[in-house]
């Protein structure tokens, strides 16, 4: 994987501004051995503002609360997924019942469910894993693209070779003797 | 049957050894009777039904309460020969109930005779000697007033705690949020302190190092500061502490509100109190139940302090507000208006929730009447509220329309007639 130079971009949404700030602090002191670049966190307390930001810039990870007054966290994550399908999603919630968790996993494909109050280490670890996962997926995509491009280049070369062979048969596979001299079939010469 | 009756007699004899014949013994005797007995209050509302009456009601309708209501409204056809005991209509019953200018209860009896299920019906007025005042006041809370002060106190407290139980989930959420960030901030604080101590230790070493030039020392210290994000920590630390302090304060406030509300203090007497403060405290608790989906608006007029029992007033407000939040399905609004008119104040609490029909509205102040599921409500909240307001010499009324919402209006006098002299702020 490529060494990453720029910071990871994260979006944190919770209706409680103090929670956004506390989470930003925890992520800012992410142990460097867990992640190859620092986390740049943009915090929001208004889901609509967060969605607007998702339409403007790229994020690697979206973290959201579930129970918020203006918009349900699951609705928010669903819309976030439509806007940026490549970004990872994490839910942080203090009261998650089974149907909610199932909906989060099945409909919005969250990467992780973190309980509130969270354990700082657990949060950092979850975020680090999500970001590494995100990078792996992106790297995977990039490599797949490279392979596709290389494949198409190869097929172009093969075509050229076939044309050459059809024009002058034998030209694509030259035979040499042990001294390195080129072997020429005189019969072919004569018939020409 | 004889077994049951003798059991009832035992209870009766036990009771006779006490000072007076108490309610439990009376209930046991009535329960053992082979005759169905239904007690109505003077307005014809159901107060009590013994086991036989409940069995009879169960035959008529799967829901006992509705079965009983039907028995009262349309008693079973009595024997022709028994015509003089034929059921009287509602008017008769009401006349009976107010006989002699005094409010009375009504006892209605049926006797199931033979296999064909014919019954005789007797209507008898019964004086409630224990609480003649309460009966006159035409309150359905008469059964509560009939209980001893101790019993009533514990009933009221039980109802209070039941309300707290309904609030618990919202309350947990409300307390959880500050705990979240205070706990996390403490973790961050420890991290910051480690870094700061690191800088401190380094500067200590540097000061003792005699071989270094002042410039070298400064450079080393600056490098270490930069590595430890000293600038960021110095800026963030005051904010972190302030937010955490505020979080703990929030938790303290919630716990304080809860304790104020659930306090059992029968000795607390009437004193001068700010109604708006009572409303605000109660709203603080109820807001958590609304989970943010409900908008609360208060329209306060300038009010003088009124003479009241603050704990009890809180309980009335709490009962009405909890009901209001439960009447609202999606997002809704609750408005509270206060006004001063002469020697009374008015508190008007309106919600735009589901409202209720006329039949429900008529019964809401009756003890044990509830539209909530089993276990969700005791059916005592509003009847206790009614009693409290009554005790304050005030009035509580309700208007409601299905689909539009419900409005409770409470009027309270500024001063209590009976307690006027002992009132001190």
Mean pLDDT calculated for residue range B224-229 = 89
Residues B146, B148, B152: CA angle, nearest 5 degrees: 85
User: Domain for residue B98, yes or no?
Assistant: yes
Q: How far apart are CA A111 and CA A97, in angstroms?
A: 17
* Domain co-membership, B272 together with B410: yes
- B235 pLDDT band (50/70/90 cuts)? very high
Q: How far apart are CA B332 and CA B348, in angstroms?
A: 17
Q: Parallel, antiparallel, or unpaired for β B105-113 and B36-40? A: antiparallel
CATH number for the domain spanning B287: value is 3.30.565.10
pLDDT, greater one: B222 or A188: B222
pLDDT of residue B112: 46
* Domain co-membership, B113 together with B55: yes
Total domains in chain B come to: 3
pLDDT, greater one: A183 or A142: A142
pLDDT of residue A176: 77
Task: Give residue ranges of A with CB < 8 Å to any B CB.
Answer: 15-16, 18-19, 21-23, 25-26, 28-29, 67-69, 94-95, 116-118, 120
* pLDDT > 50? residue B225: yes
Mean pLDDT calculated for residue range B48-68 = 75
- Disruptive mutation site among B168, B169, B174, B177 for chain A (greatest number of A CBs within 10 Å): B177
Q: What is the DSSP string of B43-57?
A: TS-EEEE-HHHHHHH
User: Domain for residue B338, yes or no?
Assistant: yes
Q: How far apart are CA A138 and CA A134, in angstroms?
A: 6
Lowest mean pLDDT among B154-163, B236-245, B277-286, B296-305: B154-163
Tell me the shortest Cα–Cα distance from A18 to chain B, in angstroms. Answer: 7
Nearest to B307 by CA among B342, B344, B265, B270: B270
* pLDDT > 60? residue B171: yes
- Residues B79-89 have pLDDT tens digits of 434 444 444 43
Q: Rounded to 10 degrees, what is the CA torsion of A144, A148, A153, A154?
A: 90
Neighbouring CB atoms inside 10 A of B118's CB total: 17
What's the domain range around B14?
2-136
pLDDT of residue B118: 44
Q: Rounded to 10 degrees, what is the CA torsion of A15, A17, A23, A29?
A: 160
* pLDDT > 70? residue B152: no
pLDDT, greater one: A70 or A23: A23
* pLDDT > 50? residue A6: yes
H helices present in B209-274, as ranges: 214-227, 230-262
User: Domain for residue B314, yes or no?
Assistant: yes
- B410 pLDDT band (50/70/90 cuts)? very high
Among B136, B156, B183, where does a domain finish? B136
| Cis-peptide, bond into residue A118, ω within 30° of zero | no
Mean pLDDT calculated for residue range B257-277 = 74
Residue of B nearest to A92 (CA): B180
* N residues, chain B: 425
Residue of A nearest to B185 (CA): A22
pLDDT of residue B122: 52
Specify the 3-state DSSP secondary structure of A129.
helix
Residues near B249 by beta carbon (within 8 Å), at least 6 away in sequence = none
Helix (H) or strand (E) holding B283: helix B275-290
* Domain co-membership, B172 together with B208: yes
Mean pLDDT calculated for residue range B277-291 = 79
- B135 pLDDT band (50/70/90 cuts)? very low
* Domain co-membership, B175 together with B271: no
pLDDT, greater one: B50 or B115: B50
> Cβ of A69 and B293 within 8 Å?
yes
pLDDT of residue B98: 41
User: Domain for residue B14, yes or no?
Assistant: yes
Mean pLDDT calculated for residue range A120-124 = 93
User: Domain for residue B6, yes or no?
Assistant: yes
Lowest mean pLDDT among A98-102, B188-192, B235-239: A98-102
User: Domain for residue B158, yes or no?
Assistant: no
What residues of chain A lie within 8 A of the CB of B179, using their CB? Answer: 117
User: Domain for residue B144, yes or no?
Assistant: no
* Domain co-membership, B226 together with B82: no
Mean pLDDT calculated for residue range B69-87 = 51
- B126 pLDDT band (50/70/90 cuts)? low
Which phi and psi (to 5°) does residue B148 adopt? -70, 160
Closest Cβ–Cβ partner in B180, B185, B247 for A25: B185
The rounded Cα A33 to chain-centroid distance in angstroms is 20
pLDDT, greater one: B370 or B243: B243
* Domain co-membership, B270 together with B416: yes
Which domains does chain A show, CATH number per domain? 8-138 (3.40.50.2300)
What are B301's two structure tokens? 């007029």
Q: How far apart are CA B110 and CA B126, in angstroms?
A: 16
User: Domain for residue B335, yes or no?
Assistant: yes
* Domain co-membership, B113 together with B8: yes
pLDDT of residue B239: 94
pLDDT of residue B337: 93
Which phi and psi (to 5°) does residue B128 adopt? -100, 95
* Domain co-membership, B170 together with B129: no
* Domain co-membership, B21 together with B110: yes
> Cβ of B243 and A21 within 8 Å?
yes
Lowest mean pLDDT among A28-37, B116-125, B139-148: B139-148
């Amino acid at each position: 994987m490529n060494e990453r130079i720029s910071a990871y971009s994260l979006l944190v949404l919770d209706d409680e501004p103090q929670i956004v700030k506390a989470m930003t602090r925890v992520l800012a002191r992410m142990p460097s051995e867990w992640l190859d670049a620092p986390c740049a966190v943009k915090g929001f307390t208004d889901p609509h503002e967060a969605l607007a930001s998702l339409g403007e810039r790229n994020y690697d990870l979206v973290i959201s609360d579930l129970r918020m007054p203006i918009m349900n966290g699951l609705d928010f994550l669903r819309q976030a997924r439509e806007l940026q399908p490549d970004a990872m999603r994490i839910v942080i919630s203090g009261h998650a019942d089974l149907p909610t968790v199932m909906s989060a996993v099945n409909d919005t494909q969250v990467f992780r469910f973190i309980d509130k109050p969270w354990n700082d280490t657990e949060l950092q670890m979850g975020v680090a894993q999500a970001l590494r996962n995100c990078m792996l997926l992106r790297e995977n995509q990039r490599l797949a693209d490279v392979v596709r491009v290389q494949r198409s280049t190869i097929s172009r070369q093969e075509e050229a070779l076939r044309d050459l062979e059809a024009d002058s048969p034998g030209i694509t596979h030259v035979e040499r003797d042990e001294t390195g001299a080129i072997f020429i079939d005189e019969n072919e010469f004569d018939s020409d | 049957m004889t077994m049951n009756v003798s059991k009832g007699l035992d209870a009766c004899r036990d009771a006779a050894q006490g000072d007076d014949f108490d309610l439990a013994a009376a209930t046991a005797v009535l329960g053992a009777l082979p005759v169905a007995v239904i007690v109505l209050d003077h307005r014809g509302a159901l107060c009590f039904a013994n086991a036989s009456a409940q069995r009879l009601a169960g035959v008529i309708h799967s829901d006992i309460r509705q079965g009983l209501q039907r028995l009262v409204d349309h008693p079973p056809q009595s024997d022709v020969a028994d015509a003089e005991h034929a059921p009287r209509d509602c008017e008769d019953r009401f006349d009976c109930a107010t006989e002699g200018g005094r409010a009375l209860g009504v006892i209605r009896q049926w006797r199931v005779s033979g296999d064909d299920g014919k019954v005789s019906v007797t209507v008898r007025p019964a004086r409630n000697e224990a609480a003649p005042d309460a009966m006159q006041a035409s309150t359905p809370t008469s059964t509560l007033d009939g209980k001893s002060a101790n019993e009533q106190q514990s009933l009221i407290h039980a109802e209070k705690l039941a309300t707290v139980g309904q609030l618990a989930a919202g309350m947990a959420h409300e307390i959880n949020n500050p705990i979240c960030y205070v706990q996390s901030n403490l973790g961050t604080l420890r991290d910051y302190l480690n870094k700061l101590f690191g800088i401190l230790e380094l500067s200590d070493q540097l000061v003792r190092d005699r071989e270094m030039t002042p410039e070298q020392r400064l450079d080393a210290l600056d490098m270490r500061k930069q590595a430890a994000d000293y600038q960021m920590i110095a800026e963030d630390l005051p904010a972190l502490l302030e937010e955490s302090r505020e979080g703990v304060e929030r938790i303290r406030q919630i716990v304080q509100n809860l304790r104020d509300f659930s306090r059992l203090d029968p000795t607390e007497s009437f004193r001068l109190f700010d109604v708006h403060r009572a409303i605000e405290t109660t709203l603080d608790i109820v807001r958590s139940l609304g989970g943010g989906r409900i908008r609360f608006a208060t329209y306060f007029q300038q009010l003088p302090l009124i003479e009241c029992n603050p704990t009890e007033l809180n309980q009335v407000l709490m009962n009405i507000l909890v009901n209001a939040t439960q009447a609202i399905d999606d997002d809704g609004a609750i408005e509270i208006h206060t006004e001063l008119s002469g020697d009374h104040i008015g508190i008007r609490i309106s919600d735009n929730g589901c409202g209720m029909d006329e039949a429900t509205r008529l019964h809401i102040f009756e003890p044990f009447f509830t539209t909530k599921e089993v276990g969700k409500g005791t059916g005592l909240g509003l009847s206790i509220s009614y009693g409290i307001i009554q005790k304050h010499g005030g009035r509580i009324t309700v208007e409601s329309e299905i689909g539009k919402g419900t409005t409770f209006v409470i009027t309270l006098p500024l001063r209590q007639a009976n307690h006027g002299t002992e009132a001190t702020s």
